[in-house]
């Protein structure tokens, strides 16, 4: 028996979830299913979830709630729950709490859904077996790694997970509990995936890992070429068709000179580093279990800037960590003002179940004070980025064009700045030379050099 069903995948959270959803969609399409735009029109609905902060978790409850009446009206609709809300352990508690969910899947692993569909005779056995076999390797195999329909011929930039899970255990972070311990994917598998993406027109890949610089450290030493992020970058650099390579997220303790030199040396690797500082006060950093001091972070920023000319640096910060005093917060503010980084993702601390911080410390910075601190950093960073970007006025920058919004083409510079311009020609997937005519903190506008096409 063979059934063609409609599917709908809803994704929130980090770039890794976006990569996981793409893999799930590829698998469903390999089984002959078709994407639709709304859950109500689908036979299979999957929520791919994030719980890094309570606000993300609340969105899941909202979505799950709206699926209950849908399931009551159409009991044959298959409802799947995937990602960090599920985690890697026993999900029976979740199934009891949300009985309208038919199947749960850990992060990065769509196989339970395929098993469920097979057991119920909802897919052809041979095809399901083939797909499940492909999924046993992390990626679908070579030629079979088809982009899902919504991305075919349009996707310019794709995420590729290279390190799954995390073993660092920052005291505030739920990810190690939900994504499990650190596991690097074999280098050959990543290269196959990158080649398959390039063959399908993808021009830029971003390698993902919670601490991406640790790539390979858990793999057998005997593997050749030696598995490390710099050696992976060198191998990926040879792939024809790929124009740019990025990676994130770095951890200050694992950024080796070898890695920085590879970024500086390899023309396709973009000079952009995402390296979270999280706080500018040493006591807070120690309670976060980050493993470095503010001064060490300062020296790291200097080292990155010294070794990679023209580099841009992004960071993450958490405000209102338990016990963070006004003076301690001020140190974070001063550090951000001093370092003048290109981007800062600022989050209010949110206690997460199981984590050391939630078990040991009281969440004692009031919500209004957390918001005040978040806004102060946001305003400061807006001002800094506004000034950095203003220096680009009149400059010509290289932009990889990802698509068109309204009448404007948009893309990113090598340093990850968003640029818009208007032109009648088709620029998707092209590297454009753009002269910047307007600069704001969040985006730039320019005129394209049409001869560069």
> CB of 256: closest distance to ligand SAM in angstroms?
16
Nearer to ligand SAM, 11 or 278 (CB): 278
Per-residue x/- marks for ligand SAM, 171-210, CB under 6 A?
A: -xx-x----------------------------------x
How many CB atoms lie under 10 A from the CB of residue 364? 10
Give the DSSP per-residue string, 229-287: HHHHHHHHHT-TT--EEEEE---GGG--HHHHHHHHH-TTB-SEEE---B-S-HHHHHH
Distance of closest approach, residue 347 Cβ to ligand SAM, in angstroms = 4
Sheet containing strand 244-248, edge to edge, reads: 157-161, 204-208, 244-248
Whole-angstrom Cα distance, residue 82 to residue 16? 12
Between 206 and 249, whose beta carbon lies closer to ligand SAM? 249
Q: How many residues bind ligand SAM (CB under 6 A)?
A: 17
Residue 171 Cβ vs ligand SAM, minimum distance, rounded to whole Å:
9
Q: What span, in angstroms and rounded, lies between the C-alpha atoms of 346 and 339?
A: 15
Of 269, 237, 107, 248, which is closest to residue 176 (Cα–Cα)? 107
Q: Whole-number minimum distance, CB 43 to ligand SAM, in Å?
A: 32
Closer residue to ligand SAM (CB): 53 or 246: 53
- Residue of the chain from 108, 139, 157, 249 that contacts ligand SAM (CB under 6 A): 249
Residue 56 is a binding residue for ligand SAM (CB under 6 A): no
Binding mask 95-114 for ligand SAM (x = CB under 6 A): --------------------
Sheet of strand 78-83, all strands in order from the earlier edge strand to the far edge: 34-35, 6-11, 44-49, 78-83, 103-105
Count of CB atoms within 10 A of residue 197's CB?
25
Give me the count of residues in the chain.
453
Which three-class secondary structure state does DSSP give residue 312?
A: strand
Is residue 246 within 8 Å of 203, Cβ to Cβ?
A: no
Contacts of 127 (CB under 8 A, 6+ apart): 2, 30, 31, 32
What is the closest distance, in whole angstroms, from the C-beta atom of residue 316 to ligand SAM in the complex?
3
Residues in contact with ligand SAM, shown as a per-residue x/- string from 291 to 330 under the rule CB under 6 A: -------------------------x-x------------
> Closest CB to ligand SAM among 53 and 71?
53
347 in contact with ligand SAM (CB under 6 A): yes
Q: Token digits for 85?
A: 């809300």
Is there binding between residue 71 and ligand SAM (CB under 6 A)?
no
Comparing CB distances to ligand SAM, the nearer of 184 and 249 is: 249
| 298-312 b/e (C-beta count within 10 Å ≥ 16 → b) | eebbeebbebbeebb
Whichever of 26 and 249 has its CB closer to ligand SAM, that residue is 249
Residue 160 engages ligand SAM in binding (rule: CB under 6 A): no
Nearer to ligand SAM, 39 or 319 (CB): 319
Residues 124-143 that bind ligand SAM (CB under 6 A): none
The answer to whether residues 163 and 179 touch, using CB atoms and an 8 Å cutoff, is: no
Query: Smaller CB distance to ligand SAM: residue 247 or 349?
Result: 349
Least Å distance, CB 59 to ligand SAM, is 15
Assess 373 for contact with ligand SAM (CB under 6 A). Answer: no
Find the shortest distance in angstroms from Cβ 343 to ligand SAM.
Answer: 12
The secondary structure of the chain in percent helix, strand, coil, rounded to multiples of 5, reads: 40, 20, 40
434, 399 Cβ separation under 8 angstroms: yes
> Looking only at residues 9 through 48 of this chain, which bind ligand SAM when binding is defined by CB under 6 A?
14
CB of 251 to ligand SAM, least distance (A): 5
Give the closest residue to 273 by CA, choosing from 319, 187, 212, 202.
212
Verify binding: residue 332, ligand SAM, rule CB under 6 A. no
Sequence-distant (6+) residues with CB within 8 A of 326 are none
- Phi and psi at 374, nearest 5°, equal -60, -45
Q: Which of residues 259-278 bind ligand SAM (CB under 6 A)?
A: 276, 278
- Give the footprint of ligand SAM on this chain (CB under 6 A): 14, 52-53, 172-173, 175, 210, 249, 251, 276, 278, 316, 318, 347, 349-350, 352
């Amino acid at each position: 028996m063979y059934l063609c069903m409609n599917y709908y995948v809803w994704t929130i959270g980090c770039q890794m979830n976006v990569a996981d959803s793409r893999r799930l969609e590829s698998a469903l399409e390999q089984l002959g299913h078709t994407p639709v735009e709304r859950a109500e029109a689908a036979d299979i609905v999957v929520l791919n979830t994030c719980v890094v902060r309570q606000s993300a978790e609340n969105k899941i409850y909202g979505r799950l709630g709206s699926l209950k009446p849908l399931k009551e009206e159409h009991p044959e609709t298959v409802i799947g729950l995937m990602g960090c809300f599920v985690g890697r352990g026993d999900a029976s508690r979740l199934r009891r709490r949300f009985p309208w969910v038919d199947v749960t899947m850990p992060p990065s692993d769509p196989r339970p859904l395929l098993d469920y569909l097979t057991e119920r005779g909802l897919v052809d056995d041979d095809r399901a077996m083939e797909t499940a076999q492909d999924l046993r390797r992390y990626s679908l195999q070579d030629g079979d790694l088809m982009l899902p329909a919504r991305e075919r011929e349009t996707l310019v930039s794709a995420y590729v997970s290279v390190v799954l899970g995390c073993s660092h255990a920052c005291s505030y972070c739920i990810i190690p509990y939900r994504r499990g311990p650190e596991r690097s994917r074999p280098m050959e598998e990543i290269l196959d995936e990158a080649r398959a993406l390039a063959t399908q027109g993808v021009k830029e890949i971003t390698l993902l890992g919670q601490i991406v610089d640790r790539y390979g450290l858990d793999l057998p030493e005997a593997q050749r070429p030696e598995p490390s992020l710099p050696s992976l970058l060198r191998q990926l650099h040879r792939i024809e068709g790929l124009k740019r390579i990025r990676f994130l997220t770095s951890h200050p303790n694992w950024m080796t000179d070898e890695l920085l030199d590879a970024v500086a040396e390899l023309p396709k690797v973009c000079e952009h580093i995402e390296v979270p500082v999280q706080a500018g006060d040493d006591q807070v950093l120690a309670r976060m279990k980050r493993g470095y001091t503010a001064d060490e972070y300062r020296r790291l920023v200097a080292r990155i800037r010294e070794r990679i000319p023209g580099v841009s640096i992004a960071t993450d910060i958490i405000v209102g960590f338990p016990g963070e005093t006004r003076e301690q917060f001020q140190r974070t503010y001063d550090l951000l003002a001093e370092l003048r980084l290109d981007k800062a993702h600022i989050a209010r601390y949110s206690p997460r179940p199981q984590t050391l911080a939630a078990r040991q410390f009281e969440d004692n910075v009031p919500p209004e004070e957390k918001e005040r601190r978040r806004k102060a950093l946001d305003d400061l960073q807006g001002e800094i980025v506004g000034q950095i970007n203003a220096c680009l006025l009149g400059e010509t920058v290289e932009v990889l064009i990802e698509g068109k919004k309204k009448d404007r083409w948009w893309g990113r510079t090598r340093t990850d700045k968003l640029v818009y311009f208007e032109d009648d020609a088709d620029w998707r997937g092209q590297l454009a030379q753009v002269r910047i005519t307007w600069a704001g903190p969040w985006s730039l506008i320019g005129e394209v050099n049409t001869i560069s096409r």
